[in-house]
Amino acid sequence: MAAPVPPADPGERAKQERRRQILGAAKAVFAEAGYHGASIHAIIERAQIARGTFYLYFESKAAVFDSILDQAMAELRSRIRRIDVVDPGAPAPQVQLREQVVATLEYVVRDRALATILLSAGHTPEAEASERLEQFFTETRDLLKRAMETGMEIGLLRPCQPDLVAAAMLGMIRGVIEFVVQQGDDAKVDDVVSEMLHVALRGVLKT
């Protein structure tokens, strides 16, 4: 993934940096306190900004929560690309698939605050947060479904029900994220992904 080109305007760069600062602080607060227990006061204290500064960027706690998930989804989409079967110099399709899964899982589990937020799906009493998290996972399942459809198109996967396989894979991914987070630094993402791919794709990969 190419690094984003920073804006030429110093003022715009400062705004983007301040927004990242607020999002980072909010992510930590949501991870520690949960959506229900998080407050704008806690976020501005963590970010070390004035309350007015927060409202220059976000209108509410829900808005900053949405932005965290939107950013995460954008990062996930950037890591999932169509497998190249045209370029003779491209790695084998199975290798490309594995690299993408490793990059995707590493992004989530290396950001422990984000992983903790995602694992709170189904456990938060706040309807707006619960619905937003489920929307995130619905979008993720759709990404997986399209990946399954592409895999069948290029002959990498056997004919299957892509929506069903995507739902099963999503459940496994959520379990893997929980396992890696609980294991902490002892978990080797590469090894975990190898085992997950072996189990998840064994039934659909063409041999």
CA angle, 92 as apex, 90 and 94 as ends, to 5°?
135
Please tell me the distance from the alpha carbon of residue 68 to that of residue 72, in angstroms, as a whole number. 6
pLDDT in tens, 69-83: 999 999 988 888 888
Q: Structure pTM?
A: 0.82
- Tokens, residue 24: 């980072």
Q: Cα dist. 173→141, 182, 190 in Å? A: 10, 14, 14
- Does residue 1 register a pLDDT over 50? no
Write the burial class of residue 100 (CB in 10 Å: 0-12 exposed, 13-18 middle, 19+ buried). middle
- In angstroms, the CA 7 to CA 4 distance is 9
The total of structural domains in the chain comes to 1
Are 166 and 141 in contact, with CB atoms under 8 Å apart?
yes
> Does residue 182 lie in a domain region?
yes
Assess if residue 40 is contained within a domain.
no
Q: How far apart are CA 119 and CA 113, in angstroms?
A: 10
In a domain, 106, yes or no: yes
CATH number at residue 92: 1.10.357.10
Report if residue 10 sits inside a domain. Answer: no
Is residue 50 in some structural domain? no
Choose the weakest-confidence range: 36-40, 73-77, 200-204.
Answer: 200-204
Mean pLDDT computed over every residue of the chain: 85
Q: What is the DSSP letter of 88?
A: T
Please report the pLDDT score of residue 71 as a whole number.
94
Q: Reduced to 3 states, what is the DSSP secondary structure of residue 120?
A: coil
Q: Cβ distance 101 to 80 under 8 Å?
A: no
For residue 150, how many other CB atoms are within 10 A of its CB?
Answer: 17
Q: Which of 34, 3, 23 is nearest to 69 (CA)?
A: 23
Q: pLDDT tens across 104-148, in order?
A: 888 887 888 999 999 887 677 788 888 999 999 999 999 888 888
Does a structural domain hold residue 191? yes
Q: Does residue 75 form part of some domain?
A: yes
Is pLDDT of 191 > 80? no
List the domain range (segments joined by +) for residue 92: 61-201
Lookup: tokens for 160: 């299957």
